[in-house]
Structures are given as C-alpha cells and as structure tokens.
Amino acid sequence: MPKALSEQDAEAFRERICQAAARLFVEEGPAAVSMRRIAAELGCGTMTPYRYFASKEQIVTAVRTRGMHRFSEALERALDTPGDGRTRSRAVRDAYIAFARRETATYRLMFEYPEPRRDDPAYRQAHARMWRTVAAHVEVLVAEGVVEADAPLLGHQIWAALHGAVMLEIAGLLPEGFDAASLHTRTAGTLFEAARPRGGQA
C-alpha cells in the first residue's frame, strides 16, 4: 500500500505540477497542457495529478493564483525595506525583475494569457492583493510629497512600463547595454517628473 504523503509533501507535489504546467503552457502553448503530459513530465502515473487537481484548468488557475501571491509577497518585502520612498520604489522594481527572471514561465502565464476563471475565489483574492501591491510604493511617494498622483493609476503606468521592459529582456530585444532595470529607470524617471508637485522639489 502506498505511503500516505504528509501535507507538506503533498503541497510540494502540487507545486511541481504547477511548475510543469506553466513551463508547458508558455513553451509549447495551451494545448500542450494535459494531465497525461504533466504526468509524463513528472515521471508519475497518468492519474496521479488528478489526486491533487480536478482538471488542467484548475491547475492553470492554481499557477496564476500561487504566482500572484509569491509575486505580491516579493514586492511587499521590498517595500518594507529601510529608506525613503524613491529607495523603496527602486527595491520594488528590483524585486519585480528578480521574480520575472526567477519564475519566467509563471510570470508569463500570469500576464501574457487571458484569465479564464476570474470567478475563482482564491484567484480573485490573489488578484486583488496584487493590484494593491502595484500601487503601494506610489502611495509612499505621494505621502512623502515626491509626486502628486492617483496612486493606482500611476502605479499601473509604472507597472506597464516595467512589464514591457521585462518582456523585451526575456525576448532578448533590449538595446545593447541595457537590461530591464536600466531601461525602466529612464521610463520611470519621465513618469515621476510628470507627476512632480507643481512648484515642489521632487
């Protein structure tokens, strides 16, 4: 009789399933994600993934949900570092880029493809946390008087620029001598300059 897995072991295997699904999804397309293919990637029985997830759609949603929580946690930790608002904002940028480089398949699955199960409660919670995190470092800058802006809007503008720089880096399409951080520094500087308080010293 197979030995029962501890909850820690079961969670580790769920994560392996998610990582395999994310890799297949972005490298070979959505059609490549099947329970049979995931099982083959993991070297387990065809029915084994069904013990942890009811369907491949549930797996893809879990990849997004788990990824968004890890992404948000990384940015939250960065924002909690010492320093003024600009220093902490740069730390958030660096944490963002580090996540995208470390978990490229998950990052791409989170942001490149449509979200088919937005009604999933766990997914919605993760998504809401991510949206709050995107604006948090701008709220610090607003509170310090560095910028005058609608924090969620400016946060999304900065996010859009950073995502573009990250995706160009992943694709190997950045100008020579630039990486995502150096390119985004120039773009973010323009955004912050436009949001400087009138007559203030940002």
- Tens digits of residue pLDDT in 73-112: 999 999 999 999 999 999 999 999 999 999 999 999 999 8
Report pLDDT for 47. 94
Domain ranges of the chain: 61-194
**SS3 breakdown of the chain: % helix, strand, coil, rounded to 5?**
75, 0, 25
- Tell me which amino acid residue 111 is: F
Query: Rounded to whole angstroms, what are the CA distances from 131 to 98, 123, 160, 167, 194?
Result: 19, 12, 13, 19, 22
Low pLDDT (below 50) residues in the chain: 1, 200-202
Report pLDDT for 115. 74
CB 145 within 8 A of CB 197: yes
Other residues' Cβ atoms within 10 Å of the Cβ of residue 30: 14
Other residues' Cβ atoms within 10 Å of the Cβ of residue 106: 25
Report pLDDT for 202. 44
Domain 61-194 has CATH 3.20.20.120: no
Report pLDDT for 3. 58
What pTM does this model have? 0.90
Q: At a CB cut-off of 8 Å and minimum separation 6, what does 55 contact? A: 35
Report pLDDT for 199. 65
